[in-house]
Structure 1
C-alpha cells in the first residue's frame, strides 16, 4: 500500500492535551539542509497560521493545506470517545477530505467496523505506515481489502499517527497519497498532527461542544433514503411527495449538516446517530 470537500463532524468533548513520553523520546532526524529548511519553514508557517484560529474546522483546513504542501492531498482525523471500544459507534469525531467515492464506499461496506488502522493505533505510540500493517501476518484478508479498495480511489500509500492521552482518550491522524512517504515527510506530518490535536483540545475545552443538528422527521427520512442510494424521484415515490419537495428536504438537511453533497450529509447523519441504515 503504499481536495475534495472537507467532511467535519462535531469536535469531541475533552480532547487529550497530554503528550506521551514515547513521542518525546523519538530519535532526532537528520536531513539535508535545503530540504530541512523548506520543511521547517512550511511547518513554522502552519503553526503561526493556527495561532488565532477559533474553530476546529478551520484548524483542519490549515492542516490539509500544510499536508498538501508536502504533496499529501488527503488527510483524516478521527477521535474516539474515552471508553469507546466499538469504532462503529456514533459518539466519535471525523474530519477528513478523502474522495467522496471512498467515503461512501468505506461506510457502505462497514469498513469502519474492521479498519485495521484503528486496531493498530491502539497498540502503537508513533507513526506507522499502512504498508507495515498490510504485510503483518496477523492482518486478515478482510482488513487487507480495506487498504486494497482505498488504493483504487488513489489512497495508495498512507501513514497514521496515534494520539493517546489520559483516561483512555484516543485519536488517530492519517495522511494518504499515491506514492511512498519519505522519512522526513513522516516526521513533519507527525509534528503537524500533534500540534493540530493539542490546538483542537484547547478550542474544545474552552468553547464546549457543538450540538447535534436537529433534523425534522421528513428531513431524516429523505436523507436516510438518499444514504440508501435512492434518487430524489425515487424518494418522492416512496414518501408520496413531489421531487421538488424531496429536494427541498434534502437541501435543508445538507445545510443543517454543513455538507456540500448528499453523500457527506448522509455520512454525517449516520455518525451523529441521526439515521441508521
Structure 2
C-alpha cells in the first residue's frame, strides 16, 4: 500500500522540492489500486466525499460511464446520470472539451445554465450523492490523452491555494495511472505463473542456480522463463524486466 499522506505534508515545501517529492511517491505506485488509495487520501484530506478520473468524452459520446476510468462515486450515480441522458447538455463536460484550466463547480448554480430543462434532475441527483460542490482538473498523459480528475462533496468551494495544490497532485496521479494501464496492456496474454515466480526470485537477488534449486527446475528452464518474460515486457535485460514487472504490479 502506498501512503500519499507524506506528500500532503510537503505542500509547504519550495516548488522544486514538491515536484521531486511527488515524483518519488508516484514512482512507488506499482498498481492501479495504489493510485486509487492516493486519490482517496487526497479526497479525505481536503474534505471531499468522492473522486473521479475520466477521459474527456468526444462530441459523439453520450454516456458518462464510458468516459470514467476510476471513481468511488455512488454505484448508482453513473447509471442514473446516463439513464437521464444528462451528459449531452452538461456545461461541465462542454467546458472540459474546450479548456485546460481547472475550475470549481456548484450544482445549485451550474444546473441553471443548462438549456435542456434538466437542471432540476441534475440538482436532485448530485444532492442525493452528496456531490453538490467540487472541482474539475483537466490533465493529460504523455501521449496527449485529455482527461480530468474531479473531487466532489458538500464542503465549501475550494480556495485558490487549495486549487493549486489539487491541480499539482491530480496531474501526477493521472499520469501515473495512465502509465500503469499502458504497462498492463503491453503484456499480450500476461506472464505465466512460472515467469512471475522466476521474476519474483530474480527481484529478491537470487541467481539462476539458486532459482533453479528453489523452484526445482533446471537452469536452462529458468533462463527460458526469464527470457520469455523479457520479450513480453519488451525489455533489453533481466534488470529492466524486473523493474518493469514491479512497476506494472506483476510482482511485489
Q: 2:36 aligns with which of 28, 38, 60?
A: 60
- Indicate if the aligned counterparts of 2:107 and 2:133 stay in contact, CA closer than 8 A: no
Whether 1:150 and 2:135 are equivalent positions in the alignment is: no
Question: Who is 1:116 aligned against?
Answer: 91
SS across alignment from 2:60: coil
5+ residue gaps in structure 1? 1-35, 212-277
Instruction: Provide TM-score, normalisation by structure 1.
Output: 0.51
RMSD value, Cα:
3.6
SS across alignment from 1:72: coil
2:187 and 2:153 map into 1 onto residues whose CA distance is 31
Whether 1:178 and 2:158 are equivalent positions in the alignment is: no
Q: 2:181 aligns with which of 201, 204, 222?
A: 204
Q: How far did 1:187 drift? A: 1.6
Instruction: Provide TM-score, normalisation by structure 2.
Output: 0.55
Q: How far did 1:168 drift? A: 6.7
Question: Who is 2:106 aligned against?
Answer: 131
5+ residue gaps in structure 2? 1-7, 189-252
Q: 1:99 aligns with which of 46, 55, 74?
A: 74
Q: How far did 1:53 drift? A: 1.7
Aligned length: 174
Q: How far did 1:86 drift? A: 1.3
Q: How far did 1:136 drift? A: 8.8
1:84 and 1:58 map into 2 onto residues whose CA distance is 32
Name the CA shift for 1:167/1:201 in 2 (closer, same or farther; >3 Å): closer
Query: Following superposition of structure 1 onto structure 2, how do residues 1-277 of structure 1 map, counting pairs within 5 Å?
Result: 39-40=11-12, 48-80=24-56, 85-88=60-63, 92-131=67-106, 134-135=109-110, 139-140=114-115, 141-143=117-119, 145-164=121-140, 169-180=145-156, 181-208=158-185
Q: How far did 1:74 drift? A: 0.7
- Indicate if the aligned counterparts of 2:140 and 2:174 stay in contact, CA closer than 8 A: no
SS across alignment from 1:111: coil
Which has more radius of gyration?
2
SS across alignment from 2:100: coil
Q: How far did 1:55 drift? A: 2.2
After superposition, the C-alpha distances for 1:124-151 in whole angstroms (9 at most, x for unaligned) are 2111111399449853232564244202
- Indicate if the aligned counterparts of 2:65 and 2:82 stay in contact, CA closer than 8 A: no
Q: How far did 1:112 drift? A: 4.0
1:80 and 1:188 map into 2 onto residues whose CA distance is 22
Q: How far did 1:79 drift? A: 1.4
SS across alignment from 1:53: coil
Relative contact order higher in (CA < 8 Å, ≥ 6 apart): 1
